[in-house]
Structure 1
Amino acid sequence: MKNLFIAQALYNRWANAKLAADMATLPPEQLAAPSAVNFGSIIAIANHLVLADRLWLNRFTGQGEPVARVDAVPYPALAQLAVARSVEEDRAIAFTRALDPAALATILRYTTIDGTPAALPLALCIDHFFNHQTHHRGQIHGLLGGAGVKAADCDFIFFERETATYANLL
């Protein structure tokens, strides 16, 4: 399972880069255009992903900048967003590479943003971390299509076919 999580962390960097290139084809006002989707716009969803990644990585590692909310837009410009995105991708890759496989059977105890104590299996939380990114990238992908951008395919299987990352981890 550790190798799958490493591959997913590397995949996220690949998929995020493809999506960022497609987002860069739109003017800032279109990226920030209000929409009825979660978080309200393409740029807001992209910011949510950075903040949520930071939040979960803090929970996993106990390190990093604290996150009080995941619905803010601290990076309204793509250049700022790219820097923040890269930092969290580096953290995710380092976390998965350093992951002790025995830890996957442990319970992660954390406090939610609203202050509620929570306890869930660490492996489940890591899987959620990656699934959450895929979900919101799909929203951005759809919104880009609605804005007239044919976004690049960024499925995990295409990443593996292109890079053989998982196969090389075995």
Structure 2
Amino acid sequence: MRDHFQLMADYNRWMNGNLHRAAAALPADALDAPRGAFFGSILGTLNHLVVADTVWLKRFGGEGRDAHWTALQAVAGMPMPPALDARPCADLAQWWDTRRQLDAVIVEWIGQLADADLDQVLQYRNMRGDVQRRRLSHLLLHLFNHQAHHRGQTTTLFSQCGVDVGVTDLLVRLPAIE
């Protein structure tokens, strides 16, 4: 199963690069214009993905686990976002710097996981402070599914602006078997 998560981490980084290229084709005011999306604008939605990934990576590295998974130490000093609609990145350049850092952590951390790690039950607190316990493999499914969900919303917003993000299918990242 670990190889599936490595594939998803690679796909995640690749797709975020595609979103950055699409965003760079628009002026800053178009990125922040209200578009009726759940997080308001393109930049608002991109910020939500940064927020959610930061929250999850900090949870994954919590309670001393970052000593075992050294890649997660890179997010230990980041502040915990106060809300899911927080805007830690004021502009595209800041978003891209943060996004590349988070994607590098995700790829490196997934590469550090052992098969046995995926069965671990992690305890963490949700945004309301309630204690939760879930299997790591299930949380990783959520992490990658959540990213795909909001990237899909973002590609629609780009399309409405006349910007083609290009191919978004995971299929293009799957290794061919000969």
Q: TM-score, normalised by structure 2?
A: 0.87
Q: In the alignment, which residue of structure 2 is the partner of 1:56?
A: 56
Q: Distance in 2 between matches of 1:86 and 1:151?
A: 18
Q: In the alignment, which residue of structure 2 is the partner of 1:44?
A: 44
Q: Distance in 1 between matches of 2:125 and 2:105?
A: 20
Q: In the alignment, which residue of structure 2 is the partner of 1:88?
A: 102
Where 1:114 maps in the other structure, the secondary structure is coil
Q: In the alignment, which residue of structure 2 is the partner of 1:151?
A: 165
Q: In the alignment, which residue of structure 2 is the partner of 1:116?
A: 130
Residue ranges of structure 2 left out of the alignment (5+ in a row): 63-72
Where 2:40 maps in the other structure, the secondary structure is coil
1:52-107 CA-to-partner distances (Å, cap 9, x unmatched) read 11111111122422232221112121111110001100110111001121121121
Q: Distance in 1 between matches of 2:151 and 2:90?
A: 17
Residue correspondences, number? 163
Where 2:132 maps in the other structure, the secondary structure is strand
* Aligned-pair Cα RMSD in Å: 1.4
Where 1:74 maps in the other structure, the secondary structure is coil
1:8-46 CA-to-partner distances (Å, cap 9, x unmatched) read 111111111011101111111111111221111100100
Q: Check whether the contact 2:51–2:88 (CA below 8 A) recurs between aligned residues.
A: no
Q: Distance in 2 between matches of 1:17 and 1:151?
A: 10
Residue ranges of structure 1 left out of the alignment (5+ in a row): none
Where 2:134 maps in the other structure, the secondary structure is strand
Give 1:55's aligned amino acid. Answer: V
Where 2:162 maps in the other structure, the secondary structure is coil
Where 2:133 maps in the other structure, the secondary structure is strand
Q: Check whether the contact 1:104–1:122 (CA below 8 A) recurs between aligned residues.
A: yes
1:98-152 CA-to-partner distances (Å, cap 9, x unmatched) read 1121121121110011111111111110110001110000000000111111221
Q: Distance in 2 between matches of 1:26 and 1:33?
A: 11
Q: Does 1:138 align with 2:152?
A: yes
| 1:103 aligns with one of 93, 117, 122 | 117
Q: TM-score, normalised by structure 1?
A: 0.90
Residue identity over aligned pairs, in percent, reads: 36
Where 2:122 maps in the other structure, the secondary structure is strand
Q: Distance in 1 between matches of 2:46 and 2:23?
A: 10
| 1:1-80 paired onto structure 2 within 5 Å | 1-62=1-62, 63=73, 64=76, 65=78, 66-80=80-94
